[in-house]
A and B are shown apart, each in its own frame.
Chain A
Amino acid sequence: MRTLWLELYKIRHKRLFLMLTILLSIELAWGFMAVSTSMAKNPDATTWSAILVTITAMNGLFLPTGSAVIVSRICDMEHKGRTWKLLLAASVSRKAVYAAKFVSAAVLIGGAVILQGLVIVAFGIGYGLAEPVPIGLLLRFVAGTTLTNLVVIALQQWISLAIKNQAFSLCLGMIGGFIGMTASLFPPQVGRLFIWSYYVDFSPVTYQYVNETMLFTTREIGVHLPIIVVLMGISFYLVGSIHVSRQDV
């Protein structure tokens, strides 16, 4: 608890949440613009599903890059000020700091994703969609996105802490964003190797082109994929935490 309090104290003045909000606002503005134009052209497809599909695809681009930046900002301060030796000499355990950083990042980005869900609801209602708000789909959307994101955070945190030069972790974030955005173009067996493609893979709504019109269908994810992803997350976290704890200061 003490380390978590400290971690939150340390990220003050960094305006991380503000940064995230701006990033996601850009994403949503862009997403909603795209959705409005396509719905205007194609009144049949004026559904919640259309919104969710679009935003999910854009999350594949924005969340990996945004997470990379946030995690890097949280981790980089220990490198910049050479503070590991300060913390260790004050008998703080590196594993505890590692956990606190993970929780801080997860809370920040998780909060932003929930906020995103609320904005989607507001937009849908504001647009005057006929169907009622699909609470179930929205919850599954938020859950899938958050789960994928936790794993991405674990991976980013490992790289950001293990390699001082933050260019590496930021670059990884950008590669992630690229893969996340293009995930639906890969064959599933290939896509599933990369954590970033799960933003789209976990989407409760998918689409097919039938006679050049988009046909949205909802789908069940099952338990298999989430378990694999959770295992991925646990391994990234543990490997990262152990690796970083063993590094020289």
Chain B
Amino acid sequence: MNTVIRTENLSKRYGVVYSVQRVNLAVGEGEVYGFLGPNGAGKSTTLKMLLGLVKPSEGSVSVFGKDFSRNRLEILSQTGSLIEAPSYYGHLTGLENMRVMQRLRDVPDKHVEKALQIVRLEKQKNKKVDQYSLGMKQRLGIAMALLHFPKLVILDEPTNGLDPAGIGEIRELIQSLPHEYGMTVLLSSHLLSEIEQVATSIGIIHGGKLLFQGSMEQLQRNSQPHVWMKTQDNEKARRVLQEMELSPSLQDGFLVMEGMGDREVAQTNRALIMAGIDVYRIEEHKKSLESIFLSLTGKEGSL
């Protein structure tokens, strides 16, 4: 698989604080890459650097296998983007806004119609954008990003302000982009639940640092079930288990162990009974993706 975006030690410093620090992104062709992080994690800053809107303090960006700073025009002509709040000319109608983009992108009229139709704005296209609702502006922003059917689409929190039906719609749209139009999508969000259904790969950023990058399955593998055991005497049980080369931790009156299959559970249980320790409970806890995300980024979360 070809890599569409690759960054090397990409960093941005404002004053003495790094907003983005040594980020090495790798986005493969045809992927929907979910870029995840709490508020202030550095998502928008990273995406802006990918588009040349913010100059990196250190590091480099390459897109379509070409160095960004040297092939800016060519790369941008094949990239569509929506960064932070949507951009628009409020005194112009939706259609006129699209005409401005059409002129910039140099595409035929039918692209305009198609893009408006994709985001279902055809009926509102003759209304001034100042009179649009937030969700409609967001849709217009997506239409502008898709107008020239680029190879790469970068969307920063595209479902901001959309109602549940709209979120579902945009999710389906995003999912369809790779196979219908051969696009690669880089999508940011602060909600894992929003991304997990569409993303094929995921990058998790927090405090400017990329904490995890990989496929959805890899992330799920991190979420192997934990076995929680409650015994008559946890301290004593723990010593017994340690002799079996297990390293349980103590949490809320339970012994917690990772990476246990059915056999290992049976073995430990037997060993404890043999040692004369009654086992009250054996529970399996699966970590949800959301809690993996939280454990990576910290519960206190953002900022």
Q: Interface of A with B (CB < 8 Å)?
A: 2, 5-6, 9-10, 12-14, 77, 80-92, 248-249
Check B91 against A89 for contact (C-beta < 8 Å). Answer: no
- Which of B79, B81, B90 interacts with A81 by CB under 8 Å? B90
Check B52 against A77 for contact (C-beta < 8 Å). Answer: no
Check B92 against A12 for contact (C-beta < 8 Å). Answer: yes
Q: Which residues of A contact B103 (CB under 8 A)?
A: 2, 5-6, 9
Q: Which residues of B contact A6 (CB under 8 A)?
A: 100, 103-104
Looking at the assembled complex, report how far the CB atom of A165 sits from the nearest CB atom of chain B, in whole angstroms: 17
Closest 6 CB pairs of A and B: A86-B87, A91-B76, A90-B104, A83-B87, A81-B88, A89-B81
Check B87 against A91 for contact (C-beta < 8 Å). Answer: no
Check A81 against B87 for contact (C-beta < 8 Å). Answer: yes
Check A82 against B54 for contact (C-beta < 8 Å). Answer: no
Given A5-B103, A13-B91, A13-B92, residue A85 in contact with residue B77 (CB < 8 A): no
Check A10 against B89 for contact (C-beta < 8 Å). Answer: yes
Docked pose: A242 CA to B76 CA in angstroms? 22
Given A88-B53, A89-B53, A91-B76, residue A82 in contact with residue B90 (CB < 8 A): no
* Residue picked from A5, A77, A85, most chain B C-beta under 10 Å: A85
Looking at the assembled complex, report how far the CB atom of A33 sits from the nearest CB atom of chain B, in whole angstroms: 35
Q: Flag B70-95 by CB within 8 Å of A: 1 or 0 each.
A: 00110011010101111111111000
Q: Which residues of A contact B119 (CB under 8 A)?
A: none
Q: Which residues of A contact B51 (CB under 8 A)?
A: 85, 88-89
Q: Which residues of B contact A88 (CB under 8 A)?
A: 51-53
Given A9-B99, A89-B53, residue A82 in contact with residue B79 (CB < 8 A): no
Q: Which residues of A contact B90 (CB under 8 A)?
A: 77, 80-81
Looking at the assembled complex, report how far the CB atom of A78 sits from the nearest CB atom of chain B, in whole angstroms: 9
CB proximity to A under 8 Å, residues B112-152: 129, 144
Q: Would you mind naming 27 contact pairs between A and B with Cβ atoms under 8 Å apart?
A: A2-B104, A5-B103, A6-B100, A6-B104, A9-B99, A9-B100, A10-B89, A10-B92, A12-B92, A81-B87, A81-B89, A82-B85, A82-B87, A83-B89, A84-B87, A85-B51, A85-B53, A85-B87, A86-B87, A88-B51, A88-B52, A88-B53, A89-B52, A91-B73, A92-B104, A249-B48, A249-B53
Given A2-B103, A9-B103, A10-B100, residue A89 in contact with residue B76 (CB < 8 A): yes
Check B76 against A90 for contact (C-beta < 8 Å). Answer: yes
Check A77 against B89 for contact (C-beta < 8 Å). Answer: yes
Docked pose: A235 CA to B88 CA in angstroms? 31
Check A89 against B83 for contact (C-beta < 8 Å). Answer: yes
Interface status of B239 (Cβ within 8 A of chain A):
no
Q: Which residues of B contact A12 (CB under 8 A)?
A: 92, 96
Interface status of B240 (Cβ within 8 A of chain A):
no
Docked pose: A224 CA to B99 CA in angstroms? 46
Chain A residue at minimum C-beta to C-beta distance from B154? A89
- Which of B77, B101, B144 interacts with A91 by CB under 8 Å? B77
Interface status of B105 (Cβ within 8 A of chain A):
yes
Looking at the assembled complex, report how far the CB atom of A53 sits from the nearest CB atom of chain B, in whole angstroms: 39
Docked pose: A90 CA to B83 CA in angstroms? 12
Q: Which residues of A contact B88 (CB under 8 A)?
A: 81, 83, 86
Docked pose: A83 CA to B53 CA in angstroms? 12
- Which of B79, B89, B99 interacts with A89 by CB under 8 Å? B79
Check A86 against B52 for contact (C-beta < 8 Å). Answer: no
Q: Which residues of A contact B129 (CB under 8 A)?
A: 81
Looking at the assembled complex, report how far the CB atom of B297 sits from the nearest CB atom of chain A, in whole angstroms: 26
* Residue picked from A10, A77, A91, most chain B C-beta under 10 Å: A91
Check A90 against B105 for contact (C-beta < 8 Å). Answer: yes
Q: Which residues of B contact A89 (CB under 8 A)?
A: 51-53, 76, 79, 81, 83
Q: Which residues of A contact B91 (CB under 8 A)?
A: 13-14, 77
Docked pose: A249 CA to B52 CA in angstroms? 10
CB proximity to A under 8 Å, residues B11-46: none
Q: Which residues of A contact B54 (CB under 8 A)?
A: 248-249
- New contact pairs (18) apart from A85-B87, A86-B88, A249-B53, CB-CB < 8 Å: A9-B96, A9-B99, A12-B96, A13-B92, A14-B91, A80-B90, A81-B90, A81-B129, A85-B84, A86-B87, A86-B101, A87-B104, A88-B51, A88-B52, A89-B83, A90-B105, A91-B76, A249-B54
Chain B residue at minimum C-beta to C-beta distance from A13? B91
Given A5-B103, A77-B91, residue A86 in contact with residue B144 (CB < 8 A): yes
Docked pose: A81 CA to B52 CA in angstroms? 19
Docked pose: A9 CA to B103 CA in angstroms? 10
* Residue picked from A80, A89, A92, most chain B C-beta under 10 Å: A89
Q: Which residues of A contact B101 (CB under 8 A)?
A: 86, 90
Q: Which residues of B contact A2 (CB under 8 A)?
A: 103-104
Looking at the assembled complex, report how far the CB atom of A84 sits from the nearest CB atom of chain B, in whole angstroms: 8
Chain A residue at minimum C-beta to C-beta distance from B76? A91
* Residue picked from B72, B86, B100, most chain A C-beta under 10 Å: B100
